[in-house]
Amino acid sequence: MTTSHPFTASVFIGTSLDGFIARKDGDLGWLTSRGEAAGDDLGYQDFIDGIDTVVMGRGTYEPALTYDPWPHEGKHVAVLSTTLEVGADPRVTVYRDLDQLIDGLAERGTKSVYVDGGQIITTFLRAGLVGEITITTVPVLLGTGLPLFGPLGGDVPLVHRSTKVFGAGVVQSTYGVLRQEEDPAG
Ligand SMILES: NC(=O)c1ccc[n+]([C@@H]2O[C@H](COP(=O)([O-])OP(=O)(O)OC[C@H]3O[C@@H](n4cnc5c(N)ncnc54)[C@H](OP(=O)(O)O)[C@@H]3O)[C@@H](O)[C@H]2O)c1
């Protein structure tokens, strides 16, 4: 497990009540429509203002290419992928694996990372790299889709920091990730 790294990494993500971040075909309408109905930016601007680097998987990068304008202007964007062509998109840096990514972020003097995409979040959790998780849950069950979390290789102890209730039944909770030795149940 990776434990020594120079940056903090945070998750800020929207899910269905049953823990999906997108339908299997990538559809996000069930999330964006409810987010808009909440009538608030759900704390996103405050969160992103404290971030210098966005790390995402190819599965999150490719849909983001359809957004106009590019949603990550002004941030360093790192994409984990074994298949994307390196250097093809000047707005992002492609890394082939987690070790290469961590070295690259350290070399850049990265301080605060926004980790996005279910597989990448799981990879970061497994490596002990995530410090805080904010999950915005919208009131719908999808039954199937792309999951937020995958197998973690062990429990990840959390401490609850806050819960806010927005309009349209949108609920947002923030948790700190404890190190194993901090786990009160451990
Ligand atoms: N609900 C929300 O707030 C939210 C937020 C973000 C994304 N999304 C949606 O979630 C979906 C994407 O999530 P996802 O979990 O399917 O994918 P993801 O985590 O964004 O990306 C997965 C890809 O990342 C690469 N990857 C993963 N681990 C790697 C490693 N250790 N080393 C190198 N490359 C690695 C692989 O790309 P290669 O196959 O190229 O190797 C893999 O296919 C999209 O539909 C997106 O729109 C929703």
User: CA distances (Å), 57 to each of 66, 80, 106, 135, 162, in order?
Assistant: 16, 5, 19, 18, 28
Total structural domains within the chain: 1
pLDDT at 3 over 60: no
Instruction: Specify if 47 maps to a domain.
Output: yes
Q: Which of 121, 138, 132 minimizes the C-alpha distance to 174?
A: 132
3-state class (DSSP) for residue 83: coil
**CATH code: domain of residue 140:** 3.40.430.10
Residue-range definition of the domain harbouring residue 161: 8-177
Residues with CB under 6 A from ligand 1: 13-14, 21-22, 26, 28, 31, 56-60, 63, 80-84, 96-98, 116-120, 123, 146
Instruction: Specify if 74 maps to a domain.
Output: yes
pLDDT tens-place string over residues 89-145: 999 999 999 999 999 999 999 999 999 999 999 999 999 999 999 999 999 999 999
Query: Measured in angstroms, how far is the CA atom of residue 186 from the centroid of ligand 1?
Result: 31
pLDDT tens-place string over residues 15-69: 999 999 999 999 999 999 999 999 889 999 999 999 999 999 999 999 999 999 9
DSSP-derived pairing of the beta strands 92-95 and 146-147: unpaired
Query: Measured in angstroms, how far is the CA atom of residue 59 from the centroid of ligand 1?
Result: 4
Query: Measured in angstroms, how far is the CA atom of residue 185 from the centroid of ligand 1?
Result: 31
What pLDDT does residue 67 have? 94
Q: Which residues contact 114 (CB under 8 A, 6 or more apart)?
A: 9, 10, 11, 12, 47, 48, 51, 53, 54, 55, 75
User: What single letter denotes the amino acid at residue 73?
Assistant: E
pLDDT tens-place string over residues 139-168: 999 999 999 999 999 999 999 999 999 999
Q: What is the pLDDT confidence band of residue 4, given thresholds at 50, 70 and 90?
A: low
Instruction: Specify if 182 maps to a domain.
Output: no
